[in-house]
Amino acid sequence: MSTTEPATAGGASPTPDGGPNYLSHKQIMVVLGGLMAGMFLAALDQSIVGTALPRIVSEFNSLDKLSWVVTAYLLTSTASTPLWGKVSDLYGRRPLFIAAIVTFLAGSVLAALSQNIEMLIGFRAVQGLGAGGLMSLAFATIGDVIPPRERGKYMGYFGAVFGLSSVAGPLLGGLLTDGPGWRWIFWINLPIGLVALGIVGAVLKLPHVKRSHKIDYLGAATVAAAVTSLLLAVSWSGPTNGWGTGTTLALLGAAVVLAVLFVFIELKVAEPIIPMDLFKGRIFSGYAGYAFLLGFAMFGALIFLPLYLQAVKDMSPTRSGLALLPMIVGIFSASIPSGQLMSKTGRYKIYPIISAIAVGVAMVMLSTLSLSTPYWQLAIYMFVMGAGLGLSMQITVTAAQNSVPRQHMGSATSTMTFFRSMGGAIGTAVYGAVLTSRLSSHLTDIVPQAAQGMVDKLAKAANSVQALHGLQPPMKGWALHGLVDAMGDVFLVSLPFLAIALIIAIITPEQRLAGRNDGPKADGEDSLESSAAAAMH
């Protein structure tokens, strides 16, 4: 028999008809403090480590294993995301969110104490395991405590977390690495994490409907193996060994087979990690695809803009972090008004459409960058990029949450996060491959015939900002020119994917956002009249 835990101060209890009783504005603001601290931990760690990697490599003398410091974190965070969401649907958000914070902090402490590169890689994997829960569970909890119609009012806070981490990551990474040492990029997680634990432990007391359950261990293992195979192929084997080698093809083949097997398993088990019924709804499946494509497209800009600022504009990691501020301003300027309007009107369909167009325009602008582009011009491009991202980053999650039954809130939210992460991971690998191939091509065109033997050396030097700046004229000019031209190609590669995202945003139906006094959501709830027939489950 199902029983319901009593609500406590700061929590929300179900209404007599089974619908949610959402938190008040004051309660929401307190809870958001803990959730945003947890989200900040995960978002910050994606950017703070990059600036410390050269120092870490020097200390451990392990250039050949450099990529694994990033890949290990990416693997475990992406692979574990669906599992965190499903288990939180079964056991409740609060204990799982606390477990995610504790796991992340344990990985941070161990990473800070690492004595060799192998230990650091292993402990980064532990960090990633916790990070996989932090982001998805924060969004799922937001879905529990704030009605969909009102979530737009709080969009600016969510955007602030990503914006602040984008600037604070490189900035803190540079300051800590140059100051007390690279280990402090992990130690700094402790005070932030403890604040999050304190707030979540004290005020996030949500009711949870207890029911009989059975965890899909086979599905969890299969999806983890599929993600691991895919990310190893695109993040490690392909860039290192070549995309046509036996190892890369075997990993890609294994990823496809395991993904198909995972779908079959999920269709058979009673408690699937990712319920396949979610994809019967055009709203959820549409925005899952949109999240994947936008994640694919935007990571190109987020990764290569700091490289442009440091390599071409000769900025330090700290200065390049500050130079990204126009993008953050763009995110705020778009996410806050769009969120307010979404709450006021209950409509959201237009924002992902404008988002895909704006990001596409920004990519075209960025493709025109040259050695002499003034910073004010780049700042305009970054602002447009940020505005485009701000129009859809959280709105698509809200739309997807609004389209599924409440008992699937955790699974739906973690699945959206999963698709965005996968898009970013695959996009990063594809852009890296495009940059490498186009760089060699451009250098062949730029370097005079008499110096063609230098092309391979210059292409290799372009992999390191320090190596680039160590080149003598005219070789440095050739290398930088080739790098900028190759970056332009990378930005243009994103346009077909953004075009598909735009089409998806246009054809995905819209559903009325549920308000505070609406009853419980059921499978198959009608969409807006204009798209009711299209949004069936």
Burial class (CB in 10 A: 0-12, 13-18, 19+), 226: buried
Position 7 pLDDT exceeds 50:
no
What is the three-class DSSP state of 210?
Answer: strand
- CA–CA separation, 356 and 497 (whole Å): 10
Omega before 474 cis (within 30°)? yes
How confident is the model over 348-366, as a mean pLDDT?
A: 93
Pick the residue with more confidence: 228 or 354?
Answer: 354
pTM: 0.76
Q: What is the pLDDT of residue 516?
A: 60
Q: What is the pLDDT of residue 362?
A: 94
Q: What is the pLDDT of residue 402?
A: 81
- CA–CA separation, 189 and 411 (whole Å): 27
Position 20 pLDDT exceeds 60:
no
How confident is the model over 179-203, as a mean pLDDT?
A: 85
Position 5 pLDDT exceeds 70:
no
Give the position of tokens 């504790």: 102
> Measuring CA to CA, how many Å separate 47 from each of 120, 230, 449?
17, 22, 40
CB 490 within 8 Å of CB 435:
yes
- CA–CA separation, 62 and 182 (whole Å): 15
**Angle at alpha carbon of residue 70, lines to 69 and 75, rounded to 5°:** 110
Query: What are the backbone angles phi and psi of residue 244, rounded to the nearest 5°?
Result: -105, 5
Q: What is the pLDDT of residue 416?
A: 84
Range among 124-138, 271-285, 488-502 rated most confident: 488-502
Position 536 pLDDT exceeds 70:
no
CB 166 within 8 Å of CB 47:
yes
Burial class (CB in 10 A: 0-12, 13-18, 19+), 384: buried
Residue 34 corresponds to which amino acid?
G
Q: Which of 212-221, 308-317, 433-442 has the lowest mean pLDDT?
A: 212-221
Q: What is the pLDDT of residue 413?
A: 79
Position 235 pLDDT exceeds 80:
no
- Measured in residues, the chain has a length of 537
DSSP H helices in 391-474: 395-402, 409-446, 455-461, 465-469
Per residue in 463-480, pLDDT (tens digit) is: 667 777 777 788 888 888
Q: Which of 58-67, 109-118, 181-190, 506-515 has the lowest mean pLDDT?
A: 58-67
Position 526 pLDDT exceeds 60:
no
Give residue 501's pLDDT band: very low, low, confident or very high (50, 70, 90): very high
- CA–CA separation, 93 and 105 (whole Å): 18
What is the three-class DSSP state of 3?
Answer: strand
CB 66 within 8 Å of CB 53:
yes
CB 129 within 8 Å of CB 107:
yes
Instruction: List the beta bridge partners of residue 209.
Output: 4
Q: What is the pLDDT of residue 531?
A: 37
Pick the residue with more confidence: 418 or 374?
Answer: 374
Position 238 pLDDT exceeds 80:
no
Q: What is the pLDDT of residue 515?
A: 62
Q: What is the pLDDT of residue 11?
A: 40
Q: What is the pLDDT of residue 54?
A: 66
CB 474 within 8 Å of CB 450:
no
**Domains in the chain, start-ordered, CATH in brackets?**
19-212 (1.20.1250.20), 216-270 (no CATH), 274-512 (1.20.1250.20)
* 284 Cβ neighbours under 8 A, 6+ residues apart: 278, 400, 403, 404, 412
- CA–CA separation, 505 and 291 (whole Å): 10
CB 188 within 8 Å of CB 173:
no
The encoded tokens of residue 518 equal 């609406």
The encoded tokens of residue 106 equal 């344990």
Position 420 pLDDT exceeds 70:
yes
* 372 Cβ neighbours under 8 A, 6+ residues apart: none
Per residue in 129-182, pLDDT (tens digit) is: 898 888 778 877 877 777 777 776 776 677 667 767 767 777 788 788 778 888
Q: What is the pLDDT of residue 379?
A: 94
- CA–CA separation, 405 and 419 (whole Å): 20
Q: Maximum Cα–Cα distance for the chain, whole Å? A: 83
Helix, strand, coil share (%) of the chain residues, nearest 5: 75, 0, 25
Instruction: List the beta bridge partners of residue 3.
Output: 210
Instruction: List the beta bridge partners of residue 4.
Output: 209
Position 18 pLDDT exceeds 90:
no
Q: Smallest Cα–Cα separation from 157: which of 36, 37, 23, 47?
A: 36
Q: In percent, how much of the chain has pLDDT > 70?
A: 82
Q: Which of 239-243, 267-271, 413-417, 496-500 has the lowest mean pLDDT?
A: 239-243
